[in-house]
Chain A
Amino acid sequence: MSATTDLTEPAASTAPPAGGGSGRRLDLGRFRDLSLVPAILVLMVIGFIVSPAFLTADNLIGVAQQSTELSLLVLAAALILICGRMDLSLESTIGVAPVVAVWLVLPTSGGRFNGLGLLPEWTAVPLCLLVGMVIGAVNGFLILKLRLNGFIVTLGGLTMLRGLQVALSKGQSIVDLPPSFTYLGRASWLGVPAAIWICALLFALGGCALAWLRHGRALYAIGGNPAAARTAGIRVDRVVWLVLILGSLLAAFAGILYSGHYGSISATQGSGWIFQVFAATVIGGVSLNGGKGSVVGALTGVLTLQLVVNVMTLAGVPPLWNQFLNGAIIIVALVISRFASGEKQE
């Protein structure tokens, strides 16, 4: 009675005693990741009311296609956040990796942009992915081996890589890309852009790995309590390093899709995206402190943000208001999820 109970755990006293109700609680846990689904449905109803053009295949596929690049970054950010880390440099990787790859393969003369011509053109895609992995590996080295602060390291990386891209491309967009490089962003399979198929596949793979593989579950353990994960025999640093590499790889891949989609590598490709990426991830239920959330939840976060913009555009709201609305929706979504889940978000 008078003896001390753990005061930091208010949940403990409200928990029912052992046994019973297991199915119900499990379902609740499952639904927590999908708390944005009702919001998406509401948005679709609003869209339907606002404009007959909304519920057409063209429009919805357009929304999905526009979501692909952002959603890959969100997938990367979700994985990294779940294991309790942060990588801000993702938004520069999406631009710099294609530029470096193209710079290495394009011929030394003749085009508007002259590269080094070191390697055959078909290597552009593998090179781009390789650049992404190198960036992730370097981030991992700085954060895990030198024990630098991950936030600042990747903030530095963000600026540095953006600068590298500007220096290499001389601040210009690169328009004459190898055909292999633009294929994935342009192709349509079964009437739906290839990028959508690929994203769906990657999210499915990510979701399954996190749900059914030991190494996927290890991310939650590491994010939840690194010391406990270590005592359970999980090689914490190695797993985190791999996740950072995987994250940058996904960002580089998003760069390929984006360049292919628009037929050029824009000088500002990805610039400022990281805020949207974090916003989508967090409103999708991934905790900034790690150990919580799912990639499916993160995907609903992206879709919510993109649908809001689409509905607003169809409703005739001037595009100049987009930025304002994006910010507002993030804050509103956070407030809602704070009170829906009843958990503090610190």
Chain B
Amino acid sequence: MTDTASGTAADSGRPAPPVAEATGIGKRFGATVALRDARIRVAAGESHALVGRNGAGKSTLVSVLTGIQQPDTGTLRFSGEPAPAFGDIDAWRTRVACVYQHSTVIGELTVAENLFLNRQSEGAVRPIRWRQLRRRATELLGEYGVEVDPAARARDLTVEQRQFVEIARALSFGARFIILDEPTAKLDARGIARLFDRLRALQRQGVAFLFISHHLQEVYDLCATVTVYRDAGHVLTAPVAELGHQALVEAMTGETAGRAPFVAGPPPAVATPGADLLAVEHLTLPGACEDLSLTVRSGEVVGLAGAAASGNVRVGETVAGLHRAAGGAVTVAGRGVRLGSVPSALAAGVGLIPEDRHLQGLVAGRSVAENATLTVTGQLGPFGTVLPGRTRTFAQRMISDLDIKTPGAATPVSALSGGNQQKVVAARALATDPHVLVAVRPTNGVDVRSKEFLLGRIRDVAADGKAALIVSDELDDLRACDRVVVMFHGRVVAEFGGGWQDEHLVAAMEGVGAADDDDPPASGTAPASGATPASGTEEHGR
């Protein structure tokens, strides 16, 4: 539609200025430094990848680049010109397009209307000409090769189609630079292949993109340049071809020797692991995992590692009874757990430290005592009553047991620090004295001290002859485990005993390196080989 000439000037004599260049960007949120002297430079027509582990500052950089957050320091230029004024949405959108992780399509409206939202007609009082709008939508979608019916309601689209609609909309404002924030997270292998075909086609039209992904293989497949962020700052920028898997993973994780492990390796108590306490057999969860088997013996802490879309969190939650499975069984201490039933899991002796303590873990306005005893109200008084005295005693025991720093048992949990809140969640999981403790990212967003303490407490559970399953992608969490099972795209791809190397584990989680002998659908190589015929026939069908 509106082709701005800025991006296509690359083939003229002088090199075109980069479509986006950020230097010295700093951004703090309260006490947290989200970005420190960060920089990035995306040349015209370039396919640029941005990688980094959680908390590296990627999403903050995206919101700075798209004008959603104002940086505290630093300068931002688009095609050599300074960035538009903060808050001038229309001006930003002509410079940079963004497809966010969360969808910004309105489900009740048609595709056509979503594409032209708030610009359906030329003037505010001019009536919308629907037929014309649909025709324009068809043209726009055709321009980007998106085969979607413009009259369909957006909620009826598949995730993939919705994403293409968002890409077309984002680019329709005339920007020649698009940011894709984890676009592959919700797509299957064929969808990813089609997305990549489309992105390559866009690149041939001179569109530059910044591609953010947790899957390194995708970076190798798609991008020419990669920028690595770590600990709120820029680490390196290099051509992808010159950077091996090994070097990339090392850049993401940092120097392995430089980081002291918080828990000094698995303790020696594992000499004779006992009987199986937790057995997961042939578990199949639609969209999360397939035919997954796993055992945890008494006295053992097992890590279930995996990146965001690997399905490991759902497996952990299923053990705790949160999800129903399509197939398979979970047995705790020889007793079957009815899947999808939390009471059944609790009765069988599963304790859960959930992933998100704010959403799933705590009743923020209520007291520490109430939160810590939520799972054991049955033990607090006869005939369904909850005796305040008994609650207090119980809570007091949990507070000292877990070293929760709180003014008192009656303090609302919302007044505690993140680390102490997490301890309350752990207290609740431990209150039932579970046979198996499932901890999903137990040290998410807690300080170093609490982290150390929580991981130590989980080890204590195992030392008492119980079992623990830590579901996490944090290396510090996994270091506290006797064994680590790695999942990738719903399958177990590797298992590590003690003494693994960081880069091997990360490589396995990212689906590279150790996963060389993997089957095609699970590995990131699929777009290059397996799914190409499918996309080829698509091409002919057009």
Where the two chains meet, the residues of A that have a C-beta atom closer than 8 Å to any C-beta of B are 1-7, 9, 11-13, 15, 17-23, 25-26, 29, 208, 211-215, 217-218, 220-221, 224-225, 227-229, 231-234, 291-292
List residues 464-519 of chain B with CB under 8 A from any CB of chain A.
489-491
Chain A residue nearest to B102 (CB atoms) is: A227
A19 contacts B147, C-beta separation under 8 Å = yes
B124 contacts A5, C-beta separation under 8 Å = no
Task: Find chain A residues with CB under 8 A from B188 CB.
Answer: 1-5
A214 contacts B128, C-beta separation under 8 Å = yes
B153 contacts A2, C-beta separation under 8 Å = no
Q: Which of A2, A227, A228, A231 contacts B522 (CB 8 A)?
A: A2
Chain B residue nearest to A14 (CB atoms) is: B156
If A25-B151, A221-B117 touch, whether A3 touches B108 (CB-CB below 8 Å) is no
Task: Find chain A residues with CB under 8 A from B146 CB.
Answer: 18
Task: Find chain B residues with CB under 8 A from A29 CB.
Answer: 153
Q: Which of A208, A214, A224 contacts B106 (CB 8 A)?
A: A224
Task: Find chain A residues with CB under 8 A from B128 CB.
Answer: 211-214, 217
B117 contacts A232, C-beta separation under 8 Å = yes
Known: A26-B151, A213-B124, A225-B107. 20 other contacts (CB 8 A): A2-B490, A3-B187, A3-B490, A4-B490, A5-B159, A5-B188, A12-B158, A15-B156, A18-B148, A18-B149, A22-B149, A22-B151, A25-B151, A29-B153, A213-B127, A221-B106, A221-B117, A225-B104, A233-B119, A291-B108
If A29-B153, A214-B120, A292-B108 touch, whether A5 touches B186 (CB-CB below 8 Å) is yes
Instruction: State how many angstroms separate the Cβ of A38 from the closest Cβ of chain B.
Output: 23
If A5-B287, A15-B152, A217-B113 touch, whether A232 touches B118 (CB-CB below 8 Å) is yes
Contact with A along B213-252 (1 / 0, CB 8 A): 0000000000000000000000000000000000000000
If A7-B287, A9-B159, A15-B157 touch, whether A25 touches B152 (CB-CB below 8 Å) is yes
The CA of A227 and the CA of B153, in the complex, are separated in Å by: 19
Task: Find chain A residues with CB under 8 A from B130 CB.
Answer: 212
What are 14 inter-chain pairs, A to B, with CB distance below 8 A? A3-B187, A3-B489, A3-B490, A5-B287, A6-B186, A18-B161, A22-B150, A22-B151, A214-B119, A214-B120, A217-B109, A217-B117, A217-B128, A220-B108
Task: Find chain B residues with CB under 8 A from A220 CB.
Answer: 106, 108-109
Instruction: State how many angstroms separate the Cβ of B375 from the closest Cβ of chain A.
Output: 26
A-B contact count (CB 8 A): 130
The CA of A231 and the CA of B117, in the complex, are separated in Å by: 10
Instruction: State how many angstroms separate the Cβ of B511 from the closest Cβ of chain A.
Output: 11
The CA of A211 and the CA of B113, in the complex, are separated in Å by: 11
Ranked nearest first, the 9 interchain pairs of A and B with the lowest CB-CB distance are A212-B127, A224-B106, A2-B490, A3-B188, A18-B147, A232-B117, A22-B151, A228-B104, A15-B156
B108 contacts A11, C-beta separation under 8 Å = no
Task: Find chain B residues with CB under 8 A from A25 CB.
Answer: 149, 151-153
Contact with A along B72-104 (1 / 0, CB 8 A): 000000000000000001100000000000001
A2 contacts B124, C-beta separation under 8 Å = no
B521 contacts A2, C-beta separation under 8 Å = yes
List residues 114-143 of chain B with CB under 8 A from any CB of chain A.
117-121, 124-125, 127-128, 130
Q: Interface of chain B, helix or strand or loop or mixed?
A: loop
The CA of A11 and the CA of B152, in the complex, are separated in Å by: 12
Q: Which of B108, B120, B159, B311 contacts A12 (CB 8 A)?
A: B159
Task: Find chain A residues with CB under 8 A from B109 CB.
Answer: 217, 220-221, 224
Task: Find chain A residues with CB under 8 A from B149 CB.
Answer: 18-22, 25
Q: Which of B89, B90, B107, B311 contacts A4 (CB 8 A)?
A: B311
Instruction: State how many angstroms separate the Cβ of A29 from the closest Cβ of chain B.
Output: 7
A228 contacts B118, C-beta separation under 8 Å = no
If A1-B188, A2-B289 touch, whether A233 touches B159 (CB-CB below 8 Å) is no
Is B309 engaged at the interface, CB distance under 8 Å to the other chain?
Answer: yes
Interface centre among A25, A208, A292 (most CB of B within 10 A): A25
Q: Which of B125, B186, B522 contacts A213 (CB 8 A)?
A: B125
Task: Find chain A residues with CB under 8 A from B521 CB.
Answer: 1-3
Is B290 engaged at the interface, CB distance under 8 Å to the other chain?
Answer: yes
B186 contacts A4, C-beta separation under 8 Å = yes
Chain B residue nearest to A6 (CB atoms) is: B159
Task: Find chain A residues with CB under 8 A from B156 CB.
Answer: 11-12, 15
Is B395 engaged at the interface, CB distance under 8 Å to the other chain?
Answer: no
Instruction: State how many angstroms separate the Cβ of A108 from the closest Cβ of chain B.
Output: 45
Instruction: State how many angstroms separate the Cβ of B255 from the closest Cβ of chain A.
Output: 33
Q: Which of B158, B290, B311, B522 contacts A13 (CB 8 A)?
A: B158
Chain B residue nearest to A215 (CB atoms) is: B124
The CA of A17 and the CA of B125, in the complex, are separated in Å by: 36
The CA of A19 and the CA of B157, in the complex, are separated in Å by: 11
Chain A residue nearest to B149 (CB atoms) is: A22
B106 contacts A12, C-beta separation under 8 Å = no
Instruction: State how many angstroms separate the Cβ of B50 from the closest Cβ of chain A.
Output: 21
Task: Find chain B residues with CB under 8 A from A18 CB.
Answer: 146-149, 152, 161
Instruction: State how many angstroms separate the Cβ of A213 from the closest Cβ of chain B.
Output: 7
Is B189 engaged at the interface, CB distance under 8 Å to the other chain?
Answer: yes
Chain B residue nearest to A29 (CB atoms) is: B153
Q: Which of A3, A9, A217, A224 contacts B189 (CB 8 A)?
A: A3
Task: Find chain A residues with CB under 8 A from B185 CB.
Answer: 4
Task: Find chain B residues with CB under 8 A from A13 CB.
Answer: 158
B151 contacts A12, C-beta separation under 8 Å = no
A4 contacts B288, C-beta separation under 8 Å = yes
Instruction: State how many angstroms separate the Cβ of B127 from the closest Cβ of chain A.
Output: 4
The CA of A216 and the CA of B23, in the complex, are separated in Å by: 42
Task: Find chain A residues with CB under 8 A from B491 CB.
Answer: 2
The CA of A344 and the CA of B150, in the complex, are separated in Å by: 25
The CA of A229 and the CA of B489, in the complex, are separated in Å by: 34
Task: Find chain A residues with CB under 8 A from B290 CB.
Answer: 2
Q: Which of A4, A23, A214 contacts B124 (CB 8 A)?
A: A214
If A15-B152, A217-B113 touch, whether A4 touches B106 (CB-CB below 8 Å) is no
Is B155 engaged at the interface, CB distance under 8 Å to the other chain?
Answer: yes
Task: Find chain B residues with CB under 8 A from A231 CB.
Answer: 89, 104
Is B301 engaged at the interface, CB distance under 8 Å to the other chain?
Answer: no
The CA of A224 and the CA of B107, in the complex, are separated in Å by: 7
